[in-house]
Amino acid sequence: MKKKLSLILMMTTLLIALAACGQKTASDTPGNGGTTADEGAASDTKTYTIAISQIVEHPSLDATREGFIAALKDAGIVEGTNLKIDYNNAQGDNTNNLSIAQKIAGGKNDLVFAIATPSALAVAQQVKDVPVVFAAVTDPLSTKIVSNLDQPGGNITGASDTNPEATTKLADFIASNFPNIKNIGLVINEGEPNAEVMAKKAEEEFKKHNIGLIKAPVTNTSEVKQAAQSLIGRVDAFYITLDNMVVSGVDGIIQVANDKKIPFFSSDRDTVEKGAFATVGFKYFDHGYQAGQMAVDILKNGKKPGEMKVSMQEKLDLILNLKSAAAQGITVTDDMKKAVQDPEKNIIQ
């Protein structure tokens, strides 16, 4: 009987201890209702939806998008966790571009990111009640995406991917190092406003050095190589602007430049990495990252797009591709290399 009573007392003591442990675990764990700290944080995290409109796929625009998403991630807005991205690519088609903007306008988004001038134009016209950030836009003023760079107004702001000084510096570099260049051939889509703006600027800068600019217009990507071939015998070098249609078909120009030993200058780093010889520019990933930081300010800090100054690329450098130089019959001199401020990053071997 005593043994039985002792056993009952032991079991009672054990049950009381277990109950106390269970009570302690529930009350001492961070968060309400006994949830873990991570679960509590997840339940407090806002979920964002961002629509992206991109006019076409090519390295510069893709890098812009990647930089934008990276800036969001660094600020804690992570795709698949608390961010849903609705990515739309118009494949260079204006009808698709308009349809995408109309679809986005009818959706529920926290922010819209427009990549390149045609996409930004369409989105600016269609989306009126959601914050819009643009990037890879050459001249947001002349294209009437915004009416003021310091105070854009409305629901839109962004980052311009050009600095007129870049064209000036490239023209100076060509004139100083290539005295035999008298005419430069420009393959161009004249229906793209940003390409026209840059072409006019380039023509003015080349003219200061008595260098002529001869245009070869295209209406689609498949015509780019043929346009380059049409310039053979009439020009001493090739040049392209931030022209989305032409950049999409730039392999054709690179092939002609290499086959005919014609120096090829571009307006963006990615085209130089791909096979052009030189530009004055920057990394488009960094450009997209800058736009992404603006988006973070809007989403997390409550800033109003219309009150945010349109940013511009201030840090410019000469970028050279030595392999392309060899392919195009160019002798790269010490003076050329000395003109590069950051040779480790901007002289491509």
Cα–Cα distance measured from residue 150 to residue 310, given in angstroms and rounded to the nearest whole number = 6
What's the confidence (pLDDT) of residue 314? 77
pLDDT digits (tens, 9 = 90+) for 149-173: 999 999 999 999 988 899 999 999 9
CA dist list (Å): 63 to 52, 154, 231, 268: 14, 27, 30, 12
Q: What angle do CA 120, 137, 220 make, to 5 degrees?
A: 80
Give me the pLDDT at residue 45, please: 73
Structural domains in the chain, sorted by start: 47-162+284-312 (3.40.50.2300), 164-281+316-348 (3.40.50.2300)
Taking alpha carbons only, the member of 63, 51, 57, 56 closest to residue 107 is 51
Is the pLDDT at 213 greater than 70? The verdict is yes
pLDDT 10s digits, 3-57: 444 444 444 444 444 344 444 333 333 333 333 333 333 433 799 999 999 999 9
- What does the block give as tokens for 11? 């079991």
For the segment 315-338, the average pLDDT, to the nearest whole number, is: 97
Indicate whether this model's pTM tops 0.85: no
